[in-house]
């Protein structure tokens, strides 16, 4: 991948990205490391070339297979909310998708494990992250609803699709003190929730309404 392709021109240029970052600041995103990742990750390489001119709009875009790339605000909000409270060493991402959220989050944690149920999307995401030089991610083609038990417990879990109810398997794989970010609910009624696992309980904090594709089990 050429430097020009990564840096972008016109609607994918650094100036366009700066405007996006400014909008996110105005919407309340304050973590400087997260804002720098939004600025530096070339979102346009994660969408079809025909949609490249829209890559830095603050909106979700289709990536095929009935999936979407999340809007930058949601990616920034989830990343910021996951990181609040300290450094995370061992993190699980459920729903790799095109790999954009993965690329934003990976350099901000020590190790990232990412599961995707749709194999062609996973292959494309793996290729994009390799081209960006991001090396601390392990990918798996699998059912994200059951987590990745071999690498548990996790300091943080980020779920990029919406289950109707909280997947208990993910809660069991969360370290005491760990944080789980997940959109929950049916279409049109979803809310982003941050769970923090304590010794004898699970703290629940609503972070507002969102719209995600549903979290499905199995693989394809």
| Reported pTM | 0.94
The whole-number pLDDT of residue 1 equals: 47
| Residue entry with tokens 């083609």 | 141
**Any residues with CB less than 8 A from the CB of 189 and at least 6 apart, and which?**
none
SS3 assignment, position 113: strand
Residue 143 burial class via C-beta count within 10 angstroms: exposed 0-12, middle 13-18, buried 19 and up: middle
Beta bridge partners of 64: 67
Catalytic residues: 70
pLDDT exceeds cutoff 70 at 13: yes
For 33-81, the pLDDT digits (tens) are: 999 999 999 999 999 989 989 999 999 999 999 999 999 999 999 999 9
Cβ atoms of 125 and 104 within 8 Å: the answer is: no
For 158-216, the pLDDT digits (tens) are: 999 999 999 999 999 999 999 999 999 999 999 999 999 999 999 999 999 999 999 99
pLDDT exceeds cutoff 90 at 146: yes
SS3 assignment, position 49: helix
Cβ atoms of 12 and 49 within 8 Å: the answer is: no
* Paired tokens of 3: 């430097």
Q: Go through the domains of the chain in sequence order and give each one's CATH number.
A: 58-209 (3.40.50.150)
What's the mean pLDDT in 84-102?
A: 95
**What is d(CA 125, CA 119) in angstroms, rounded to the nearest whole number?**
10
Least Cα distance to 189 among 167, 154, 162 occurs for: 162
* Paired tokens of 19: 């405007």
**What is d(CA 37, CA 211) in angstroms, rounded to the nearest whole number?**
23
Task: Tell me the pLDDT band of 86, cut-offs 50, 70 and 90.
Answer: confident
The H-or-E segment that residue 90 falls in is: strand 90-94
For 23-42, the pLDDT digits (tens) are: 999 999 999 999 999 999 99
What's the mean pLDDT in 102-115?
A: 98
């Amino acid at each position: 991948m050429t430097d020009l392709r990564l840096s972008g021109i016109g609607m994918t240029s650094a100036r366009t990205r700066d405007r996006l970052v400014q909008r996110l600041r105005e919407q309340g995103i304050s973590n400087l490391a997260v804002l720098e990742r939004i600025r530096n990750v070339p979102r346009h390489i994660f969408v079809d070339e025909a949609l490249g001119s829209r890559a830095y709009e603050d909106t979700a875009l289709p990536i095929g297979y009935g999936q979407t790339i999340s809007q930058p605000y949601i990616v920034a909000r989830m990343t910021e909310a996951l990181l609040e409270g300290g450094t995370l060493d061992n993190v699980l991402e459920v729903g790799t998708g095109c790999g954009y959220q993965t690329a934003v989050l990976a350099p901000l944690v020590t190790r990232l494990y990412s599961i995707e149920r749709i194999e062609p999307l996973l292959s494309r995401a793996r290729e994009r992250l390799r081209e960006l030089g991001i090396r601390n991610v392990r990918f798996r083609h699998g059912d994200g609803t059951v987590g990745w038990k071999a690498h548990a417990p996790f300091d943080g879990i980020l779920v990029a699709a919406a289950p109707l109810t909280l997947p208990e398997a993910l809660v069991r794989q969360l370290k005491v003190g760990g944080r789980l970010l997940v959109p929950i609910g049916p279409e049109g009624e979803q809310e982003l929730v941050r769970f923090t696992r304590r010794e004898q309980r699970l703290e629940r904090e609503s972070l507002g309404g969102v719209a995600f594709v549903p979290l499905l089990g199995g693989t394809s």
